[in-house]
Structure 1
């Protein structure tokens, strides 16, 4: 089954990290990414640009609007993701727990529905 490992961050937690901690975070992600890829578990993964570059698209009464910024009004923002193929949610949680971001804000584990969406 596929799982999204959604990495959350916020400006305060990032700003509180030393350069050494940021380098460690980057190395930890590179190591985990490589391991997941070598094991054939990694489907995709990427960091996301700063939320200031976000556009939220809505359609109301047939009119498309794109507004600046993320839709949710929170301090935390989605900073990146891994899409992994795991045997079960416990295995996915194990990988999420190895992400350094879990120490600072959070990593959300969410099952990905297949095209029918009926397994949920």
Structure 2
């Protein structure tokens, strides 16, 4: 069985939804997660803090250097993720469609290298 990464593509200049809208989104997301679990496709999921909270660790001359903030500036960032089990890309894309409908943001679907033994 393959594992796929469903990345939530979040606009960097986006406006947070109103509390009532966010509540509805979260209900849809919880339903999506329940559906993943019931189908045996759920592996892991989570939301991420904004890129401004990031620290980049770089190897340099046999040591490491820490830098605050994101590695690169962008118009979009990884806002959350799900890792799902799916027998093939089309099944993973179906999960991506359901995630996009639940969250209302673009979802990038990307396979992990190789197969995973369950």
Structure 1 consecutive aligned stretches of length 4 or more whose deviation exceeds 6 Å: none
TM-score, scaled to structure 1: 0.82
Following the alignment from structure 1 to structure 2, what is the Cα–Cα distance between the partners of residues 101 and 9?
A: 14
Unaligned runs of 5+ in 2: none
> Aligned pair 1:35/2:7, yes or no?
no
* Partner residue, 1:13: 14
TM-score by length of 2: 0.84
Give the match for residue 96 of structure 2: 96
User: 1:9, 1:78 within 8 Å by CA — same for their partners in 2?
Assistant: yes
CA shift, 1:83, in A, is 0.5
The answer to whether structure 1 residue 86 and structure 2 residue 86 are counterparts is yes
The CA deviation string for residues 85-107 of structure 1, in whole angstroms up to 9 with x for no partner, is 01211111111112247643x21
Q: Distance in 2 between matches of 1:84 and 1:51?
A: 24
SS in 1 for 2:73: coil
Structure 1 unaligned spans of 5+ = 116-120
Corresponding residue pairs, total: 113
Secondary structure at the aligned position of 2:45 is classed as strand
The more displaced of 95-104 and 52-61 is: 95-104
Deviation of 1:60 after TM superposition, in Å, equals 1.6
CA-to-partner distance for each residue in 1:23-80, whole Å, 9 max, x for gaps? 1211111111111012111011111122221111111211201111121210211111
Aligned Cα RMSD in Å? 1.9
